[in-house]
Structure 1
């Protein structure tokens, strides 16, 4: 009789207990209700960028990973907000209380359960996102970072802030926050003093390009900032990019010029051109103008004017292609 009670909510949709179990199965979890009357269960999830953010409010339930499917390519970063969550894996039991953080790997079978009402925020992270950053992406047992570490607590609070915005912020902002969350994962998954996994020069270049693209308009971006974000020395970063024919700051300036050109392409006044220069990370209007002319063989003003003239010509051609009878009706039907 309980399966007919639509007391559970999955992303705003009410469903029965059987439907809830099916929904959990679709994302790789074998669920079981441990009480005939556990009360309502609430799932709020959103996929953004590379990650999926899930907020759960559940009681008297247990779950194990389904040991097949693409979900095994993910890790689960879990933060308990209230209640208690127990995870049994390889003969050990981990009891997570409010504020505790754990990384759970579904490649090793486990059983997670809650009795009292418990709220949890979960970030589903592709292993590849950690591998690309030179971080650990395989955990034979539940990994719990040091709860006494101020850095761990700071990242935990960031994760909770991100999860709280899952159904509020725009998808674009959530994706940016998700990337920042991934960039902070080294704080949670690497043991103190343990070196990062070895990274090939091509991987370093890929990660550097991704990081530069996210912060290209930051006027304070420098090789030192980029290297620090990638957990490596400036000399190692410079050497890896040079091996691929790249200079760190030349690449940054190139992207900034492309960004400015796109904005100028839709037209801009003199004041707007100055604003675009600063918005794209240039320290001064004169520096921007010199660099832009060297790249495009015309000044920013000339570039904006040429694009405006091209748009005007296209509009005139489009207007000319419309039959005169459609542009100037010979009569009006007053019916």
Structure 2
């Protein structure tokens, strides 16, 4: 039986012990509650662009990824960035246990088995980040072991405060501002996930690609974005910029166009009817007509058709739909 000392809530709604466990399992995680001790727990979720923001209170319980065949297919497509605000979180992985106290950050890949335990009331801010967003920015996105950024580093501390600020704005800031803050947070993830002592990150070309992709992501809505402007802002030559990106398989503006159209699919998925022109401008297109032509060439359907398809499909992923549409129009 739940007591006042064992209150649990999910997005503000009270839930019992079994409902708490079942709800967490729907998010791809197995939860075990201590049979002898209990405490109040709460979990609140919000969205900031591509990033899910979660503020959680946990007490005397453990969680681990569901690894059997019924695991949600998306479970390994994201990383968790967890900032401990108070209490202690212990992470056991591959026979090693790491304790994270207030101010510590853990970057965890649910593709690799781990067990988190909370043996006292603990408060976290959690980001659930798609690995694709890190790949787009040239960042590391695979972690066989939990990544532990140095909390004493001034840069890590600055990013930690930004993550906590983002978490504090859920339910306060507008959805549009949360999207912008979420994108800025993604641009800062290199401070947490990249091994700055590794040889690969010491190479000038890799650093150039990373900086260029971050700049393009920040300026995705700027219709004046060009190779000249990118190179000027990065303080490198156009040839150096082009050579570095072509070595990774893309040209600067082809990459920018690709990111603009992918950003458009995310905006269209939740856009009201008649918002095509606004989406076009937010993605850096000079006109809705230009946007529609480019979008149809890429995805095989107009933005309006895509938005309607998304509403009908209740948020299915864009890739399967674009393949199906191409099959229909082939």
What TM-score comes out, normalization by structure 2 length?
Answer: 0.65
What does residue 119 of structure 2 align with? 115
Q: 1:25 to 1:240 in 2, by over 3 A?
A: same
Q: 1:45 to 1:52 in 2, by over 3 A?
A: same
What does residue 220 of structure 2 align with? 213
Does the 8 A contact of 1:54 with 1:121 survive in 2?
yes
What does residue 20 of structure 1 align with? 20
Query: Match for 1:84 among 74, 81, 88?
Result: 88
Question: 1:290-317 CA distances to partner (integer Å, 9 max, x unpaired)?
Answer: xxxxxxxxxxxxxxxxxxxxxxxxxxxx
The Cα of 1:237 is off from its aligned counterpart by 2.6
What does residue 273 of structure 2 align with? none
What does residue 64 of structure 2 align with? 64
1:173 to 2:177 alignment: yes
What does residue 223 of structure 1 align with? 230
Question: 1:220-246 CA distances to partner (integer Å, 9 max, x unpaired)?
Answer: x94357548xxx886533456898595
Task: Point out where structure 1 has 5 or more consecutive residues left out of the alignment.
Answer: 249-264, 267-335
What does residue 165 of structure 2 align with? 161
SS of the equivalent of 2:127 reads strand
2 CA distance for matches of 1:213 and 1:188?
23
Question: 1:247-302 CA distances to partner (integer Å, 9 max, x unpaired)?
Answer: 99xxxxxxxxxxxxxxxx99xxxxxxxxxxxxxxxxxxxxxxxxxxxxxxxxxxxx
Does the 8 A contact of 2:5 with 2:40 survive in 1?
no
Comparing 238-247 with 158-167, greater Cα deviation is found at 238-247
Does the 8 A contact of 1:204 with 1:237 survive in 2?
no
1 CA distance for matches of 2:80 and 2:103?
16
SS of the equivalent of 1:176 reads helix
2 CA distance for matches of 1:163 and 1:72?
23
Question: 1:5-62 CA distances to partner (integer Å, 9 max, x unpaired)?
Answer: 9821100111111001011001111001114441221101112311100000111010
What does residue 39 of structure 1 align with? 39
1 CA distance for matches of 2:238 and 2:45?
39
2 CA distance for matches of 1:148 and 1:4?
38
The Cα of 1:163 is off from its aligned counterpart by 0.8
2 CA distance for matches of 1:120 and 1:39?
15
Q: 1:118 to 1:203 in 2, by over 3 A?
A: closer
Cα RMSD (Å): 3.9
2 CA distance for matches of 1:78 and 1:203?
23
What does residue 299 of structure 1 align with? none
What does residue 272 of structure 1 align with? none
2 CA distance for matches of 1:6 and 1:247?
54
Q: 1:88 to 1:211 in 2, by over 3 A?
A: same
Query: Match for 2:137 among 133, 139, 149?
Result: 133
Q: 1:159 to 1:122 in 2, by over 3 A?
A: same
